[in-house]
């Protein structure tokens, strides 16, 4: 008899209910055109105005300086693991990666597949099973940039401040905490994020890149070339129109709700509630070092795999959906992105308290 469900999915993930309702209401006829947003040309002014507005709202939300390009691309974070080094690893042909977890490892593996480009780990959290963030970097070998995963979606760690990169350019994978945590765009040469966690539907990848880092003469294959993509305002080919439209609605909603700073405050409140419970529980615990804990992705375990499975099953039946941890680490994971409501965390904590009492 579940009347309301709570969706803890790590991505694709929960979106604001008001946005989903707005999409539903205006889907048959976008702005009175008699056509849905999915059915109009990406060259029409109706579409172009929509994309421009989405870009300007995103710029406002993140305080993006004018000398940064904002690109709406496809291929997810994973394609960016190739596109970034192709565009930015030109001089030294070397990428220093901060090995803070699975997605940092994947970034490194992809860059290593590119002919002529090599990578090294500037630091690694592997010895601590990625439960603690590496902060002390060894950057003795020259590199074109340092790749940092600001929020480690699987391991549940988050950089609140950047490690000392000794003057090198920083490339940030912000996939799982873009718009959820305030960062200063000027600290980065490039920021990338798939939309499917804090923004909207999968299919859109946001890239924010400092224009002066790009080389006008690089002439890469067009869809991998930030210079060409930027010149064509991300419409070098047909863009993911629906995902950009939905993202634009989320940006508007977030502006109305006080922007990124307000979202961060809400995320801190939500995650604090769960962490406090975990730290006081005799059954559940957080495996992550306290100072490095993410506000958006919160893994937890009972220490007994059988009990974890039982908890996930009973939670699912009670309306707490997608709490199963990533297949690489097991246990549970609650993803509390921007659109996840505080009352959902309260309800989860109550459910966990009850579970803990009942299994005694």
From the candidates 69, 99, 173, 225, which is the catalytic residue? Answer: 173
10 vs 103: CA distance, rounded Å = 14
Q: Has 60 been labeled as part of a binding site?
A: no
Q: What are phi and psi of 148, to 5 degrees?
A: -120, 130
Kindly compute the dihedral angle of the four CA atoms of residues 259, 263, 265, 268, in this order, to the nearest 10 degrees.
Answer: -160
| Residue among 103 and 159 whose Cβ is closer to ligand PMP | 103
From the candidates 103, 270, 292, 324, which is the catalytic residue? Answer: 103
Q: State in angstroms the smallest separation of the CB of 239 from ligand PMP.
A: 16
For the chain, first and last CA: distance in Å? Answer: 26
Q: State in angstroms the smallest separation of the CB of 73 from ligand PMP.
A: 11
Q: State in angstroms the smallest separation of the CB of 237 from ligand PMP.
A: 19
Q: State in angstroms the smallest separation of the CB of 121 from ligand PMP.
A: 17
Contacting positions for ligand PMP (CB under 6 A): 11, 76-78, 103, 149, 153, 173, 175-176, 194
| Residue among 331 and 352 whose Cβ is closer to ligand PMP | 331
Q: Could you confirm whether 173 is annotated as catalytic?
A: yes
Q: Could you confirm whether 197 is annotated as catalytic?
A: yes
Q: Has 43 been labeled as part of a binding site?
A: yes
Q: Has 78 been labeled as part of a binding site?
A: yes
Kindly compute the dihedral angle of the four CA atoms of residues 300, 302, 306, 312, in this order, to the nearest 10 degrees.
Answer: -40
324 vs 68: CA distance, rounded Å = 38
From the candidates 69, 99, 197, 324, which is the catalytic residue? Answer: 197
Q: List Cα–Cα distances, 204 to 91, 117, 304, in angstroms.
A: 29, 26, 38
Residue in the shown chain whose Cβ atom is closest to ligand PMP: 76
Q: State in angstroms the smallest separation of the CB of 286 from ligand PMP.
A: 19
| Residue among 87 and 177 whose Cβ is closer to ligand PMP | 177
For residues 262 and 101, is the Cβ–Cβ distance under 8 A?
no
Q: Has 119 been labeled as part of a binding site?
A: no
Q: Has 293 been labeled as part of a binding site?
A: no
Q: Which residues of 64-88 are buried (b: 16+ CB within 10 A; e: fewer)?
A: beeebbbbbbbebbebbbbbbbbbb
Measuring CA to CA, which residue among 199, 152, 187 is closest to residue 57? Answer: 199
For residues 329 and 299, is the Cβ–Cβ distance under 8 A?
yes
Q: Has 77 been labeled as part of a binding site?
A: yes
| Residue among 119 and 176 whose Cβ is closer to ligand PMP | 176
203 vs 119: CA distance, rounded Å = 28
Q: Could you confirm whether 285 is annotated as catalytic?
A: no
* Active-site residue list: 103, 173, 197
Binding site as annotated, residues for pyridoxal 5'-phosphate: 77-78, 103, 153, 173, 196, 237-238
Binding site as annotated, residues for L-glutamate: 43
Binding site as annotated, residues: 43, 77-78, 103, 153, 173, 196, 237-238
């Amino acid at each position: 008899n579940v009347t309301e469900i709570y969706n803890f999915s790590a991505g694709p993930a929960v979106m604001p209910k008001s946005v989903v309702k707005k999409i539903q209401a205006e889907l048959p006829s976008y702005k009175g055109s008699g056509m849905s947003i999915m059915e109009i040309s990406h060259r029409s002014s109706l579409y172009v105005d929509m994309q421009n507005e989405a870009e300007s709202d995103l710029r406002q939300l993140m305080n993006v300086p004018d000398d940064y390009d904002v690109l709406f691309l496809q291929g997810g974070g994973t394609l960016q693991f190739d596109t970034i080094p192709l565009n930015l690893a030109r001089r030294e042909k070397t990428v220093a990666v901060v090995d803070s977890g699975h997605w940092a490892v994947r970034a490194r593996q992809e860059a290593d597949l590119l002919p002529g480009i090599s990578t090294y780990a500037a630091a690694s959290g592997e010895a601590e099973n990625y439960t603690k963030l590496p902060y002390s970097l060894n950057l003795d070998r020259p590199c074109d940039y340092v790749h940092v995963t600001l929020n480690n979606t699987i391991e549940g760690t988050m950089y609140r401040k950047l490690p000392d990169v000794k003057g090198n350019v920083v490339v940030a994978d912000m996939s799982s905490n873009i718009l959820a945590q305030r960062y200063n765009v000027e600290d980065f040469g490039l920021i990338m994020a798939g939309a499917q966690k804090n923004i909207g539907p999968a299919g859109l990848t946001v890239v924010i890149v400092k224009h002066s880092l790009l080389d006008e003469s690089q002439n890469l294959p067009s869809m991998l070339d930030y210079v060409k993509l930027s010149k064509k305002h991300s419409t070098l080919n047909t863009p993911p129109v629906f995902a950009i439209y939905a993202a634009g609605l989320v940006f508007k909603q977030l502006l109305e709700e006080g922007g990124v700073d307000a979202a961060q405050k809400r995320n801190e409140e939500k995650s604090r509630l769960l962490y406090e419970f975990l730290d006081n529980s005799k059954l559940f615990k957080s495996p992550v070092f306290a100072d490095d804990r993410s506000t958006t992705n919160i893994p937890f375990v009972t220490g007994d795999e059988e009990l974890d499975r039982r908890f996930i099953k009973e939670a699912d039946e009670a309306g707490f959906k997608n709490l199963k941890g990533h297949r690489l680490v097991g246990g549970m994971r609650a993803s509390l992105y921007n659109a996840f409501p505080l009352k959902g965390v309260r309800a989860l904590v109550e459910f966990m308290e009850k579970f803990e009492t009942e299994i005694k």
